[in-house]
Each structure stands twice: as C-alpha cells, then as structure tokens.
Amino acid sequence: MMPTVRLLQPHRYGLKNPGPICVANGNAVLSYYDVRPNVAAHAGALLIYLVVLHVLTYLAVRYATYRATRAQRGVSSALSCSGA
C-alpha cells in the first residue's frame, strides 16, 4: 500500500523484514491505552449498529410513503371537488 518511491525503499524493506529485535508493535498502542480487544463486544456493537440503521431506514421509508400517499390523496380530492 506504499507508493513505489525510491526514498521509501529502506522503509519498505524494514516493514517486510523487521528482524528479531524489532520494537515496532501494533499492540503497544493498545496496551498503552489499556484497550483489551474483545471480539464479542465488537460483534455486538456492529450488530446493534446494523439494527439501528435498519430501523431508521424503515421509519424513513414509511414516513416518505406516508407523505407521498397523503399528498396524492390531497390532489385527488381537490380535483374531484373542483368539478361540479
């Protein structure tokens, strides 16, 4: 995912071959902030997010169709009343 620029070649080599005494570790940030990754909690949060989005989308579609049918009823009743 890194661009192929000549100046970045040493970094690319270091990322591909970190060596035995590499101190760069992604878990260091998590341990510093005391974050314990929990798969069940993440899956639950994503499931709740999915359900909330589905409910909001459903309500938005219901509201849009309600407004559309209400507007159509108003137009048709206005047209029927205008003719004697």
In the chain, domain spans? 6-82
Query: Average pLDDT, stretch 48-68?
Result: 95
Please enumerate in sequence order all residues whose Cβ is within 8 A of that of 12, keeping only pairs 6 or more positions apart, or say none: 2
Are 12 and 2 a contacting pair, CB within 8 Å? Answer: yes
Residue 84 confidence (pLDDT): 47
With a cut of 80, say whether residue 45 has pLDDT above it.
yes
CA trace torsion 56, 60, 61, 62 (10° rounding): 100
Q: Is the pTM of this model over 0.75?
A: no
Query: Average pLDDT, stretch 35-59?
Result: 92
With a cut of 70, say whether residue 57 has pLDDT above it.
yes
